[in-house]
Amino acid sequence: MKRFLYALSITLSLASNSIWAQQQPLFSNFFQNEFAFNPAMAGVHPYMQLRALMRRQWVNVPGSPTTQVLTGSARIAGAPFGVGAVMYNDLAAKMQRSGGNVAAALRQPILDSTTTLAVGLSIGFFQWRVQPGITVENESDALLISAQNGLWVPEFNVGLHLEMQNGLFLGIAAPQVVTQRAAFDPENPDLGHANFVPHYQMLVGMRKFAGPDQRVCFEPTVLLKVVEGAPLQYDAGMRLILNSKFWAGAIYRRQDAISALIGYQLGDRLDLSYSYDYTLSDLKRTSTGSHEITVGYRFVPLKDSDQDGVPDDKDQCPGKWGPANNNGCPREEIANLDDRDGDGIPNDQDQCPDEAGPKQFNGCPWKDRDGDGIHDMQDACADLWGIASNGGCPRDDTDRDGILGAADKCPDQPGTLATQGCPNIDSDGDGIIDGLDRCPNQPGRIDNEGCPIAAVAALPNDIQQILELAERKVFFDVDSDEIKPDAFEYLDKLAEVLIAHPNWKLRLTGHADATGPEDYNIELSKRRAEVVLFYLLNRGVPRHQIMAAYYGESQPIAPNENPRLRYLNRRVEMHFIIDNQEFGTRNHIYEERSHYRNDK
């Protein structure tokens, strides 16, 4: 029992102090396993893949670390997002740390599409406990029981990754970014606890193609690791890749080891990597080195007819060997093309001959003005955030004309903003397009929505006067939808007329001046029509007798440039509908407008 407590206290002491810098699993072959510590690498490849890593560190040293890691990631089709998950099991001394996390990353071209930026976040949990299988005499000890049951600790990781067209790449990751204090016995935290402190890692490197046919790629990298209270650690390495199939390299880890790496791509789906670490520290007296194996599997085979490492769907010359940085084409063949931007697409086939871009976008770089993840060339609403299933347009834009909701008077026919979303067709030639014309086959007046208007004299004099006075009073202040009190008397009389004539109907139309944004004025005119409608309903008028429409600033009756007349456009108009014939009055409006006809 004493020996176990002594060993446990030593382990906890090492874990609680930063001298045990390996709180995160250590990799030699980080070339192949960057997603394991950087969530920004989720979905870095356009296919789903799994990777498994097994590492045995410092063989023959008692209690030396062993690590198993399983990762899976994929890119979401048609979107600049990647998702993934990591599971790991890390044994060191007599302690075990097992856990997992889920990750998401956003990838976006920047700097005129010459650089790709990925930003990732992962969250998860890990369990920290004494390794299973360790037995003690006194199994009733509370600390030992807690240590065997383990603790669950939350984990938060962030990262970013930059990759440039010239082959330079930079990754910055912060695994375990939030400090976590874990204690097996909360009442005696100093007896057995650990501080899981933030880790910071930066990977910088470059892929440089060489050789007469660019079949050779040199990949120098440096991985810097910073842990609070621990000295700076770095891994400097070089990898040589041949034909994108075979690679070999070496790494120097400061004051720890020299590693040899080797790997091979087995067919279209499987790859295998191995690394051996020769220990440089004092542990070399006991250790025979460290071993690490990585196996990767992609679920979608990549067809590469010319075996140049560039998949056919991205290869401008799929039948001829060529380097990846020349779009899979031989150097001399691309040089003979009339290709100003050097993207491998001849000018006569390139929609953007002066801007380099991939073949899938007809030679144009990534452009996404509305940031919805859909290229502007494939986005029917390039200035409005939308969804891929609706051609890049918002969900409530069924005709994909970029005009949304109530502002679109013809939601099933594409139109323009000037025609309120309707096609520019005027069957009766009255100057009002059919989508906005209530009488599309009968010439009418613009102030009556394209329908002819009956003479107001056809109404009884007293009713004509009530309608005219009510309409005269329903003007609104700027940016307001409140009815002024002096209109209440006349609206009440109007309600009495409607109640007395149950077969009559009243059509209300809301309007606004042009002092605000057009979309806002549509909504404002809607509120103005509705406030009059609800007032009449509250006075007992049945709902079926009232109709309401709204037109924003599109139907002015006075010049908006004139501040003294502009108020005439902030109005609600009223028209009786009797036996399918419409009766209304506008005389008072024309009278007031003519009074100021010379007013600038």
Report the pLDDT value the prediction gives residue 189, as an integer from 0 to 100: 59
The whole-angstrom separation of Cα 223 and Cα 239 is 13
Contact 422, 432 (CB under 8 A): no
Q: How far is CA 323 from CA 250, 346, 593, in A?
A: 24, 18, 75
- Residue 239: which CATH number? 2.40.160.40
Mark which of 341, 364, 387 sits at the end of a domain.
364
Whether 426 is covered by a domain: the verdict is no
Q: Are residues 257 and 124 in the same domain?
A: yes
Q: Are residues 486 and 581 in the same domain?
A: yes
Q: Are residues 125 and 145 in the same domain?
A: yes
Residue 594, classed as helix, strand or coil, is helix
Q: Which residues of the chain have pLDDT under 50?
A: 1-22, 335-336, 454-457, 587-600
> Up-side HSE of residue 86: CA atoms within 13 Å toward CB?
33
Q: Are residues 268 and 326 in the same domain?
A: no
Whether 445 is covered by a domain: the verdict is no
Q: Are residues 274 and 169 in the same domain?
A: yes
Report the pLDDT value the prediction gives residue 524, as an integer from 0 to 100: 94
DSSP 8-state symbol, 181: E
Report the pLDDT value the prediction gives residue 452, as an integer from 0 to 100: 67
Whether 500 is covered by a domain: the verdict is yes
Residue by residue, DSSP assigns 295-324 as EEEESS----TT-SSS-GGG-SSTTS---G
Q: Are residues 510 and 458 in the same domain?
A: yes
Domain that holds residue 145: 2-298
Report the pLDDT value the prediction gives residue 176, as an integer from 0 to 100: 80
Q: Are residues 337 and 468 in the same domain?
A: no
Mark which of 364, 390, 414 sits at the end of a domain.
364
Whether 496 is covered by a domain: the verdict is yes
Torsion over CA: 537, 540, 541, 544 (sign): positive
Mark which of 338, 364, 390 sits at the end of a domain.
364
Q: Are residues 197 and 292 in the same domain?
A: yes
Report the pLDDT value the prediction gives residue 369, as an integer from 0 to 100: 81
- Residue 513: which CATH number? 3.30.1330.60
Whether 524 is covered by a domain: the verdict is yes
Whether 433 is covered by a domain: the verdict is no
Whether 432 is covered by a domain: the verdict is no
Q: Are residues 258 and 336 in the same domain?
A: no
Report the pLDDT value the prediction gives residue 570, as an integer from 0 to 100: 92
The whole-angstrom separation of Cα 112 and Cα 561 is 42
Q: Are residues 65 and 205 in the same domain?
A: yes
The whole-angstrom separation of Cα 411 and Cα 397 is 7
**pTM of the shown model:** 0.51
Whether 442 is covered by a domain: the verdict is no
Structurally, the chain folds into a number of domains equal to 3
Q: Are residues 199 and 314 in the same domain?
A: no
Q: Are residues 283 and 316 in the same domain?
A: no
Report the pLDDT value the prediction gives residue 597, as an integer from 0 to 100: 40
